[in-house]
Chain A
Amino acid sequence: MLEHALKGTKKYWAWIFSLSVVIVVGVYFYLKQFHFGLGITGLSRDVSWGFYIAQLTFLVGVAASGVMVVLPYYMHDYKQFGKLTILGEFLAIAAVAMCILFVFVDIGQPIRLMNIILYPSPSSILFWDTVVLSGYMLINIVISHVVLDSERKSIPPPKWIKPVIILSIPWAISIHTVTAFLYAGLAARPFWMTAILAPRFLASAFSSGPALLLVLVFVIKKFTSFDPGKEAVQKLALIITYAMAANIFFILMEFFTAFYSSIPEHIHHFQYLYFGLDGHTTLVPWMWASAILGVTALILLFIPKIRKNENYLFIICVAIFVSIWIDKGLGMVVTGFIPNPLGDVVDYWPTIPEAIISLSIWAIGFFLITVFYKIALSVRKEVMT
């Protein structure tokens, strides 16, 4: 099936080429980091996880969100999502691939990475995160390959694949729950030590992931004859709406608990995020941008006339994606460290090499998505003609 990725228009090749350039530049900077050490990043003794781990967290959500098209189709027989499931699964594979790369570049001794498997440590949530992420990747590779292959041969998929697909549903929930547990079980970091972290992660994932899927669908629609159908798009828009509503509701819960209880170590983190702490305001404009984008998008989504207009819907989806990316991919991880356990406020901002390495991993992700979607759509076109 891979041959489909090797045939394409000039625009297709131009896109593939541009992604490759970004990837190559990123590899160059990674080699620099490999040689010098993680000191090349903005990370410090006080803020020891930053942009890389934040991207991992955000992308686990994107990966998990594939379930939002898989579940209605396979569990509730919602046929309208028939054209979207394979795209959701491919998006999940690309997202998990990015997650694994983001863990890899964050490791101080990457050549020892296999120690996680050589010395399995069930008490470490990082061990479980490795297990569930690689399992999820494998499940989705098997499902998408088998389903697409049957489609190519115009035969129904084999029966044994159904339980695998059903398994992928709780598995998707598990990857983001376990990722939340990386944070939520640490007495040292009051900002993350909240039982609502996993539900909040899932809610933000189930709006940002499908939002990205819709953006991709609209782009593909522009360049190809692919059309998932109006009803499917609208149903997905509704899923995004309610997931986003839950997400904003959960954030407000956090605010209430922190500010009404007035416990300083709980308030400080939110102060740092939205108002600035001890004169440090690095994230404040970002967090307000995220809040305004998110709330505005949600209000617009609730207005049927606007939601049903696909031009508006495209912009709203971009806004939701950006809003949640800022919240999870920028603010969430870093703020756990600010202030540090001794009460000091130490700012963090990614350096240029760090940003380029991250961008290049995103480029790898988009490269994979492009190739996967190209194959899926070509196979479908072949079957149709």
Chain B
Amino acid sequence: MDVTRRKLLKLAGLGALGLTAGKYAKVFANDAFTETTLSEIGTGKRWAMVVDVRKCLVKEDCRECINACHITHNVPNIGNTKDEIKWIWKEDFENVFSDQENHYLKENLKDKRIPIFCNHCDNPPCVRVCPTQATWKREEDGIVMMDWHRCIGCRYCIVACPYGSRSFNWQDPRPFIDNINSEFPTRSKGVVEKCTFCEKRLAEGKQPACVEACKEKALVFGNLNDQNSEVRKLLKENFSLRRKPGLGTEPEIYYLV
């Protein structure tokens, strides 16, 4: 008995080693240990957005970007916080940058609400946890995409997102859309959705709907891999913040304060 047991354990150990040493080791590492952002510069596009909070706060109650986004993408207006779906919304600066705890925050930022989006992370935890690859990072431009026909609605991505950027359709959203935009699909109940960086509009050569809608020009969108892009210029000349950078997700939304 004892001999067979030892043999078996040995075999099992070898098998496990073989597996981990092989292709699965790479899968588990998932870019976490490699310097992705720097090495990828120069190959293809890397879309990013710069939010100039100073400009954004000129009109505090402004909802232009939110409205434009939600109308373009058929985001329903459910009307309660439990079931609500949001692609862009505003939160207190202190909640958005909770790791910047500071009792003596500059007065023009205290209790001020700023827009937040999906961060289209370079190392997205939502993608890592999805059991069906219904959400993935597009290699050519870094957009974190969603397949609403494959998503099984397990909501693991919502659990894994450190930014609360994802919403779930707790019921059929269609009755809650005022005017359906026939250019964009509606979603069914039971799937997750979020900001797509307007990949459809980008394909048509347009700017994202929120960027276009912002009259203060507080939202700037562009290619980080292009040295001469406006986003790169803004980041070169201004001090910027990203949300929870310590988690290693490499968010691609930058805030100028």
Contacts and interface: CB of A to CB of B under 8 A. Distances in A.
Nearest to A112: B152
A171 to B, nearest CB: 10
Nearest to B78: A39
B152 A121 contact: no
Contacts of B152: 107-110, 112-113, 115-116
Given A107-B154, A115-B152, A37 B190 contact: yes
Contact of A341 (B133, B134, B151, B164): B164
B8 A37 contact: no
A273 interface: no
A340 B164 contact: yes
B219 interface: no
A44 B162 contact: no
B171 interface: yes
Q: Which secondary structure dominates chain B's binding surface? A: loop
A116 B131 CA distance: 6
B232 interface: no
A72 to B, nearest CB: 15
Interface in B4-32: 4-5, 8, 12, 24, 27-28, 30
B55 interface: no
A112 B162 CA distance: 26
B172 interface: yes
Contact of B171 (A37, A107, A115): A37
Which of A113, A342, A343 has its CB near the most chain B CB atoms (within 10 A)? A342
B168 interface: yes
A119 B167 CA distance: 23
A212 B168 CA distance: 36
Contacts of A75: 5
Interface residues of B, number: 56
Given A44-B83, A48-B158, A123-B128, A36 B171 contact: yes
Interface in B135-185: 150-156, 158-164, 167-172
Contacts of A116: 131-132, 152
B171 A39 contact: yes
Interface string A155-189: 00000001100110010000000000010001111
Contacts of B154: 103, 106-108, 126
13 contacts: A39-B83, A44-B83, A45-B84, A109-B153, A113-B152, A118-B132, A119-B133, A123-B28, A123-B128, A166-B5, A340-B164, A341-B164, A343-B98
Given A45-B167, A46-B164, 20 more contacts: A37-B171, A37-B189, A38-B170, A38-B189, A44-B81, A108-B189, A108-B192, A109-B151, A112-B152, A115-B132, A119-B150, A121-B132, A121-B133, A124-B156, A127-B131, A162-B1, A186-B129, A187-B125, A189-B159, A341-B164
Interface of A: 36-39, 43-46, 48-49, 75, 103, 106-110, 112-113, 115-116, 118-119, 121-127, 130, 162-163, 166-167, 170, 182, 186-189, 264-265, 336-337, 340-344, 346
Interface of B: 1, 4-5, 8, 12, 24, 27-28, 30, 81-85, 91, 95-96, 98, 101, 125, 127-134, 150-156, 158-164, 167-172, 188-192, 247-249
